[in-house]
Amino acid sequence: MTATTPVSGKVAVLMGGRSAEREVSLMSGQGVLAALRAQGVDAHAFDPAERDLAELQRDGFALCFIALHGRFGEDGTVQGALELLGIPYTGSGVMASSIAIDKTMTKRVWIAEGLPTPIYTLVRRDQWRDLDMSALVAQLGLPMIVKPASEGSSIGVFKVMTPGDLPAALAQAAACDADILCEQFIAGDEVTCPVLGEGDQARALPVIRIVAPQGNYDYQNKYFTNDTQYLVPCGLPVGEEQAIQALVLKAYRVLGCKGWGRVDVMIDAVTRQAYLLEINTSPGMTGHSLVPMSARAAGISYEALCVQLLQGAGLEHAVQGGASA
């Protein structure tokens, strides 16, 4: 069935970029591009790693669908450039994007708002060799999660099982980022919950429970194998799923997110306490991605989701008469 054009004007699907998640972004972007074109949108691929963003204005693009992941795409930098260019874009604005990309800053906001998240220590790249490893283990326990503070797609993430594994994990995380997040490991159910919308109108989609081989939900098992199970309906008690959705909505709102996002959560196997891990403000849209999967469970097709997100594109500071409103 051919839909009437839901969006007027020329649309750039920003994909690729310069982050460590470039390949995933290209997969996301190609999916979004095909979906928008199938719905009659005048959509075009645009890779900021290969073209200057000023070309968006020169070539008459009216809207941008941000399918970039990680640095220079999900961290507020592209959002700021589009604000300056006056071209509306999908997803969160500059401040929410820049906070959410940094897992440590995100945790600080959540903690300040009284939201549950695993305890952590921030380690700087130039300091990890002088770190008191035994004190870190005493604080966080083992297993421990070590990961770059501002990467996604499970890049550079390690589950440290023994004290002897810690130096190598820190070194490899430091190779990815100047800031290393060392975090208490929560044993239990791993779930994720997407959110659509903004403010009081935001709504949580169905929770997905993730069952990965040996509990290892890494880059390979996320994108390039079919061994990970994604359960939606999630199989959790109804009250527990609703509580997670309410928690995720609050986590999304306090950061000022809009458009869409996905919040990752661990549920303690013993206490059933849910702990917020991180939020993605430009989630994946690949064949293995979780937002489209959850949306389908809510009756929203991939194509309809893409159009809905594009229809929500906007600017934080609309330009009127050449001056910021």
Provide the β-strand partners of residue 181: 122, 147
Distance CA 79, CA 90 (A): 9
What is the CB neighbour count within 10 angstroms for residue 311? 12
- pLDDT over 90 percentage in the chain: 83
Q: Please give the average per-residue pLDDT across 212-229, as a whole number.
A: 62
pLDDT at 131: 94
Look at strands 188-196 and 179-184 and give their pairing.
Answer: unpaired
DSSP 200: G
Confidence label for 214 from pLDDT (cuts 50, 70 and 90): low
SS3 248: helix
Strand blocks (E) in 173-300? 179-184, 188-196, 203-204, 208-211, 229-231, 260-268, 274-280
What confidence score (pLDDT) does residue 24 get? 92
Q: Hey, what are 100's tokens?
A: 């959410």
Rounded Cα distance between 312 and 172, Å, is 38
Q: Cα–Cα distance between 261 and 70 in angstroms, integer?
A: 13
Q: Is the pLDDT of residue 4 over 90?
A: no
Mean pLDDT of the chain: 91
Q: How confident is the model over 78-113, as pLDDT tens digits?
A: 999 999 999 999 999 999 999 999 999 999 999 999
Q: Which fold has domain 10-90?
A: Rossmann fold (3.40.50)
DSSP bridge partners of 231: 209
pLDDT at 324: 39
| pLDDT, tens digit, 9 for 90 and up, residues 278-298 | 999 999 999 889 999 999 999
DSSP 163: G
- 121 pLDDT above the threshold of 60: yes
Q: Do domains 99-116+187-308 and 120-184 have the same CATH topology?
A: no
Locate all alpha helices (DSSP H) within the chain, ordered by sequence.
22-38, 54-58, 77-85, 94-100, 103-112, 133-140, 166-174, 219-223, 238-254, 290-297, 302-311
Our CA angle for 152, 56, 74, nearest 5°, is: 15
- CA distances to 92, 293, 314 from 305, rounded to whole Å, are 16, 11, 16
pTM (predicted TM-score): 0.91
What class does CATH assign to 99-116+187-308? alpha beta
Cα–Cα distance, 316 to 314 (Å, whole number):
7
Res. 1 pLDDT band, cuts 50 70 90? very low
Q: Is the pLDDT of residue 325 over 60?
A: no
* CA pair distance 119, 40, nearest whole angstrom: 48
Q: Which fold has domain 120-184?
A: Dna Ligase; domain 1 (3.30.1490)
Q: Which residues contact 136 (CB under 8 A, 6 or more apart)?
A: 121, 144, 166, 182
What residue ranges do the domains of the chain occupy?
10-90, 99-116+187-308, 120-184
pLDDT confidence of residue 157: 87
Determine the average pLDDT of the residues in 35-50: 97
Look up residue 232 and give its two tokens.
């939606």
Rounded Cα gap, residues 173 and 155, in angstroms: 9
Catalytic positions are 21, 153, 223, 262, 264, 278, 280, 284
